């Protein structure tokens, strides 16, 4: 697997070591394997491993999302500007709509379809309810001399820890858009990427905007920041800024809605006789989970209120579901090996017993009870 070179974007498929035809399952499996290998916790003090882990996360973020993957396959490292490029091409084609001299040459007219145009974009918002930003709305505003500024869109990528606590980002957005004068809005010059607009087809000054990303934000969520888009003309209102948030996958926690899922190592002796297991949380605390005697591998414990913040519905948190994963001593001492041999001999002598069936039946009923003690017994 290539690690990428400085100053040049790595091919995401190469970073994950998969083919361009790889399925979502293959991409997910490759990411998890590489994340475990290159995670900073596994490679403390190794800047190369940290950089590689960032590349792996960036590749997985794009290739695991069908829409982002489609854009990446079509536009490469300019995939984040795909919407702008496609919109500019539609506008250039629209110049020939209903007349001669369209995009296909003299006499060809541009044909609009519902796949090409969103009616909300045409009329500006919900059928023109707030009167902003649409093509028809812009025409009417030009007639009256006052024009609303264009909306802008920016992407931001954050970690799961930042999604849990909320964070701030300083991003660069374009203060308005116009076709690039060097390449004529095509994004290319002599089949090479335009150096002025960097392949986007649009050129406009950039400005820095500091934005708040709220706690509990979800992957793919779109946040509207009113009045942070391009300034209006002739006294018109500024457009809005839409922030599209991508949340990186986490090597330990899996997020499902507002809940978190994680595996928890339980020594086999503690599983058999009862004990405690350490459960990390995104709060930065480690909880002590009481493990009842006879715990089977795969048993799930619910830790109430230890999941993600519930965004948009007032206060509250989701839950954390900890799955017991039985682990053997590693390395195993001679004394431990002798004890396991005695256990095996004893088990072979009483193979007719059915002691394991009762534990399986009780697992679902008792899942909540250990969680109550876990929440109140944080060790740090």
What is the mean predicted confidence (pLDDT) over 188-201? 80
Of the two residues 230 and 368, the one the predictor is more confident about is 230
H helices then E strands: how many in the chain?
A: 12, 13
The CATH homologous superfamily for domain 149-247 is Urease metallochaperone UreE, N-terminal domain (2.60.260.20)
Q: Which stretch, 31-35, 42-46, 120-124, 299-303, has highest mean pLDDT?
A: 299-303
Q: With cut-offs at 50, 70 and 90, classify the pLDDT of residue 302.
A: very high
Confidence at residue 175, expressed as pLDDT on a 0 to 100 scale: 61
**Mean pLDDT (the chain, rounded):** 75
- Please give the backbone phi and psi of residue 230, each rounded to the nearest 5 degrees, phi first: -70, 145
What DSSP assignment string belongs to 87-111?
HHHHHHHHTTTTSSSBTTBTT----
* CA distance linking residue 194 with residue 192, whole number of Å: 6
Structural tokens at position 290: 């009481």
- Give how far Cα 65 sits from Cα of 18, 59, 251, 273, Å: 15, 10, 18, 44
Question: Tokens for 59?
Answer: 């590749």
Give CATH superfamily name and number for 12-64.
DnaJ domain (1.10.287.110)
Does the fold of domain 149-247 match that of domain 12-64?
A: no
Average pLDDT over residues 371-378: 39
Res 178 pLDDT > 70: no
Dump pLDDT digits (tens) for 65-75: 888 898 888 88
CATH number for region 254-376: 2.60.260.20
Q: Where are the domains of the chain?
A: 12-64, 149-247, 254-376
Minimum mean pLDDT among 9-13, 75-79, 91-95: which range? Answer: 91-95
pLDDT of 369 > 60? The answer is: no
Residue-wise pLDDT tens digits, 79-133: 887 777 777 766 665 544 343 333 333 333 333 333 433 434 434 444 444 444 4
What is d(CA 281, CA 325) in angstroms, rounded to the nearest whole number?
17
Using a pLDDT cut of 70, give the percent of the chain over it.
71
SS3 call for 159: coil
Does residue 50 surpass a pLDDT of 60?
yes
Cβ-proximal residues to 56 (8 Å cutoff; 6+ apart), any chain = 15, 16, 31, 34, 35, 38
Q: Once rounded to an integer, what is the mean pLDDT over residues 320-348?
A: 90
Strands (E), the chain: 152-158, 167-174, 188-189, 192-193, 206-213, 222-225, 241-247, 254-256, 259-267, 275-280, 286-291, 300-303, 320-327
C-alpha 232/C-alpha 374 separation (Å) is 55
């Amino acid at each position: 697997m290539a690690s990428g070179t400085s100053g040049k974007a790595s091919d995401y498929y190469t970073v994950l070591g998969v083919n361009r035809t790889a399925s979502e399952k293959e991409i997910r499996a490759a990411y998890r394997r590489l994340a475990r290998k290159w995670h900073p916790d596994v490679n403390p003090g190794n800047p190369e491993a940290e950089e590689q882990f960032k590349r792996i996360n960036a590749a997985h973020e794009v290739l695991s999302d069908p829409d982002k993957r489609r854009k990446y396959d079509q536009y490469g490292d300019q995939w984040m500007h795909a919407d702008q490029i496609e919109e500019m091409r539609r506008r250039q084609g629209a110049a020939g709509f209903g007349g001669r001299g369209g995009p296909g040459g003299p006499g060809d007219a541009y044909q609009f379809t519902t796949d090409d145009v969103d009616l909300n974009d045409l009329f500006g918002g919900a059928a023109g309810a707030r009167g902003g930003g649409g093509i028809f709305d812009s025409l009417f505003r030009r007639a009256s001399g006052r024009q609303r500024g264009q909306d802008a869109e920016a992407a931001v990528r954050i970690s799961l820890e930042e999604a849990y606590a909320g964070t701030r980002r300083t991003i660069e957005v374009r203060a308005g858009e116009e076709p690039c004068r060097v390449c004529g809005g095509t994004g290319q010059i002599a089949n090479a990427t335009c150096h002025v607009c960097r392949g986007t087809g649009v050129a406009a000054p950039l400005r820095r905007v500091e934005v708040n990303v709220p706690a509990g934000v979800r992957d793919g969520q779109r946040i509207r920041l009113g009045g942070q888009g391009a300034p209006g003309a002739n006294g018109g209102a500024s457009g809005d800024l839409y922030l599209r948030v991508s949340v990186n996958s986490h090597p330990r926690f899996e997020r499902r809605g507002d809940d978190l899922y994680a595996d928890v190592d339980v020594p086999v002796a503690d599983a058999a006789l009862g004990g405690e297991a350490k459960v990390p949380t995104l709060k930065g605390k480690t909880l002590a989970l009481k493990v009842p005697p006879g715990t089977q591998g795969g048993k799930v414990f619910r830790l109430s209120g230890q999941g993600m913040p519930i965004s948009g519905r007032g206060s509250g948190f989701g839950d954390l579901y900890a799955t017991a994963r039985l682990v053997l001593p590693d390395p195993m001492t001679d004394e431990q090996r002798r004890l396991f041999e005695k256990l095996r001999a004893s088990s072979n002598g009483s193979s007719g017993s059915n002691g394991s069936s009762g534990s399986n039946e009780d697992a679902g009923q008792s899942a909540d009870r250990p969680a109550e003690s876990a929440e109140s017994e944080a060790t740090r």
